[in-house]
């Protein structure tokens, strides 16, 4: 009795320690999840900023393309105006040279020739016409020179205005190039930030997966310790390690609980993220954690279809209950029935073990309807 109490005390201590470990692990998991969420938000914000910068770059590229087209047009205008100015200066110079020749001629010959021309006039009308002609030539030279000079000034002014616009566009182009370089650097920095956040997020998610796996393992061990404590407490209640015990029927469902008193489910029916190596992620039954040797009871009356060792399932019993229903009991330690045997509801058919592909003592309880696995909770 003293020895049994000591064992129970040790088991209780282990359960308490495991419980404290689970609390610490849960706190770390919560903190890691929060950190992962923060990193995810930071990464999304950085990606949004990068997309915004990329849009700015695209806009700048469009503005530069438009400005380049305007610069090319202005270059053509400037080239045409330079040609026009050059021609105006040529015409101005030609007029100036012609006028200089006439002035030189008059200076070198004096006024005698003009007087002779006038004296040769036969009539007063002819005289007046010749005098007016000489005056007209002088006025024409002067007027034409002034006209050409005005044209040159006008073209020079237009050329200066075009050149100012051209230089202004060049400054605008330089500003756009500088802005483009600045935004490109920001994009590069943002890409580096996103890469860093992505690496941190990957590391955090890996840590979270490890923590959750450790928590699941600790929870399983806690359940096994609790089950062991319960088994020690209920020792002498009729269970005999060497053979089958009395029948037990519990619950109000179609099936009695196959392992009454051990309701902790270490693995539920359906999808599971981290199965054992070689096991399917689609769990076809429910795992009840219980210490080795705990009685297993037939969920309902029926006929034992098979009771033998079966690879990953270990010692396995299959019972047919009619109407397409059958139940399966895996990883048994001892089996108390054989194929072809008729069993009653609640009959002790085996004991909990860890045979086959198993991490610890538990009962894999599976319900098939017309050969298809279905959730056992629908029948318990």
pLDDT in tens, 114-135: 556 656 666 666 656 656 666 6
Let me know whether 96 and 158 are in one domain.
yes
3 state SS of 260? coil
Which structural domain, as residue segments, surrounds residue 328? 238-378
Residue 241 or 365, more confident: 365
In sequence order, what are the residues at sequence separation of 6 or more whose Cβ sits closer than 8 angstroms to the Cβ of residue 260?
A: 248, 250, 251, 297
The pLDDT > 70 percentage for the chain reads 72
| Average pLDDT of the segment spanning 228-251 | 55
In this structure, is residue 219 part of a structural domain?
no
In this structure, is residue 149 part of a structural domain?
yes
In this structure, is residue 9 part of a structural domain?
no
Which helix (H) or strand (E) covers residue 277, if one does?
none
In this structure, is residue 11 part of a structural domain?
no
Let me know whether 343 and 249 are in one domain.
yes
Report the pLDDT value the prediction gives residue 213, as an integer from 0 to 100: 74
Both tokens of residue 61?
Answer: 């590229």
How many independent structural domains does the chain possess? 2
Let me know whether 102 and 181 are in one domain.
yes
Both tokens of residue 228?
Answer: 């062991």
Let me know whether 28 and 97 are in one domain.
yes
Report the pLDDT value the prediction gives residue 241, as an integer from 0 to 100: 43
Let me know whether 326 and 373 are in one domain.
yes
pLDDT of residue 233 exceeding 50, the answer is no
Using one digit for the tens of pLDDT, what is the confidence trace for 153-172? 888 888 888 889 888 888 98
What angle separates helix 2-109 from helix 124-233, to the nearest 10 degrees? 170
Report the pLDDT value the prediction gives residue 325, as an integer from 0 to 100: 95
In whole angstroms, what is the distance from residue 224 CA to residue 100 CA?
A: 124
| Average pLDDT of the segment spanning 301-328 | 95
Report the pLDDT value the prediction gives residue 87, as an integer from 0 to 100: 85
* Alpha-helical segments (H) within the chain: 2-109, 112-119, 124-233
Let me know whether 147 and 196 are in one domain.
yes
Both tokens of residue 299?
Answer: 């969920």
In sequence order, what are the residues at sequence separation of 6 or more whose Cβ sits closer than 8 angstroms to the Cβ of residue 11?
A: 225, 228, 229, 232
In this structure, is residue 324 part of a structural domain?
yes
Residue 55 or 245, more confident: 55
What average pLDDT is seen over the chain? Answer: 80
In this structure, is residue 298 part of a structural domain?
yes
Given a contact cutoff of 8 angstroms between Cβ atoms, the answer to whether 363 and 290 are in contact is yes
Domain boundary among 194, 210, 226: 210
Let me know whether 121 and 259 are in one domain.
no
Both tokens of residue 209?
Answer: 């997966």
Q: Shortest CA distance to 71 belongs to which of 196, 219, 176?
A: 176
3 state SS of 356? coil
Q: What CATH number does the domain containing 341 carry?
A: 2.70.70.10
Residues β-bridged to residue 317: 307, 329
Let me know whether 142 and 90 are in one domain.
yes
In this structure, is residue 217 part of a structural domain?
no
Domain boundary among 174, 193, 210: 210
Using one digit for the tens of pLDDT, what is the confidence trace for 341-350? 999 999 999 9
Place of tokens 């399983």: 220
State the pLDDT confidence band at 86, using cuts at 50, 70 and 90.
confident
Q: What CATH number does the domain containing 144 carry?
A: 1.10.287.2610
In whole angstroms, what is the distance from residue 344 CA to residue 348 CA?
A: 9
- Report which DSSP code applies to 290: -
* Nearest 10 degrees: Cα torsion 54, 60, 64, 66: 100
Count Cα atoms within 13 angstroms, Cβ side, for 283: 20
Let me know whether 116 and 264 are in one domain.
no
3 state SS of 313? helix
Q: Are strands 295-297 and 315-322 parallel, antiparallel or unpaired?
A: unpaired
Let me know whether 196 and 47 are in one domain.
yes
Place of tokens 């690879």: 311
What is the number of other CB atoms lying within 10 angstroms of the CB of residue 198? 15
Given a contact cutoff of 8 angstroms between Cβ atoms, the answer to whether 349 and 329 are in contact is yes
Using one digit for the tens of pLDDT, what is the confidence trace for 1-48? 555 556 556 655 665 665 666 666 778 888 888 889 999 999 899 999
Domain boundary among 210, 229, 251: 210
3 state SS of 209? helix
Count Cα atoms within 13 angstroms, Cβ side, for 125: 0
In this structure, is residue 233 part of a structural domain?
no
| Average pLDDT of the segment spanning 293-316 | 94
In whole angstroms, what is the distance from residue 353 CA to residue 364 CA?
A: 10
3 state SS of 342? strand
In sequence order, what are the residues at sequence separation of 6 or more whose Cβ sits closer than 8 angstroms to the Cβ of residue 136?
A: none
Let me know whether 188 and 274 are in one domain.
no
Let me know whether 134 and 26 are in one domain.
yes
């Amino acid at each position: 009795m003293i020895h049994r109490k000591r064992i129970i005390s040790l088991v209780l201590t282990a359960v308490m320690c495991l419980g404290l470990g689970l609390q610490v692990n849960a706190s770390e998991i919560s903190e890691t999840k929060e950190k992962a969420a923060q990193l995810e938000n930071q990464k999304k914000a950085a990606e949004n900023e990068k997309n915004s910068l990329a849009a700015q770059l695209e806009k700048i590229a469009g503005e530069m393309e438009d400005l380049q087209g305007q610069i090319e047009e202005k270059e053509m205008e400037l080239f045409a105006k330079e040609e026009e100015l050059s021609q105006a200066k040529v015409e101005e110079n030609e007029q100036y040279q012609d006028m200089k020749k006439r002035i030189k001629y008059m200076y070198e010959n004096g006024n005698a020739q003009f007087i002779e021309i006038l004296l040769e006039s036969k009539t007063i009308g002819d005289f007046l016409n010749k005098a007016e002609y000489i005056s007209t030539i002088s006025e024409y030279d002067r007027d034409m020179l002034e006209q050409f000079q005005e044209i040159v000034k006008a073209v020079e002014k237009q050329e200066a205005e075009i050149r100012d616009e051209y230089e202004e566009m060049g400054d605008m182009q330089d500003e756009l190039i500088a802005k483009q370089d600045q935004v490109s650097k920001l994009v590069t920095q943002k890409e580096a930030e996103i890469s860093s956040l992505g690496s941190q997020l990957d590391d955090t998610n890996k840590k979270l997966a490890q923590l959750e796996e450790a928590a699941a393992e600790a929870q399983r061990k806690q359940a096994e310790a609790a089950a062991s404590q319960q088994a020690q407490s209920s020792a002498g209640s009729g269970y005999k390690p060497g053979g089958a015990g009395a029948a037990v029927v519990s619950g109000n469902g179609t099936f009695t609980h196959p392992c009454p008193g051990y309701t902790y489910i270490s693995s539920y029916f359906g999808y599971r993220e981290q199965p054992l190596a070689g096991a399917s992620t689609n769990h076809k039954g429910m795992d009840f954690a219980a210490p080795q040797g705990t009685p297993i009871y037939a969920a309902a009356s029926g006929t034992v279809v098979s009771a033998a060792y079966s690879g990953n399932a270990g010692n396995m019993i299959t019972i047919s209950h009619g109407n397409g229903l059958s139940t399966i009991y895996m990883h048994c330690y001892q089996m108390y029935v054989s194929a072809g045997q008729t069993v009653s509801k609640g009959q002790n058919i085996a004991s909990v073990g860890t045979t086959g592909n198993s991490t610890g003592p538990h009962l894999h309880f599976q319900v098939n309807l017309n050969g298809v696995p279905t959730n056992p909770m629908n029948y318990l």
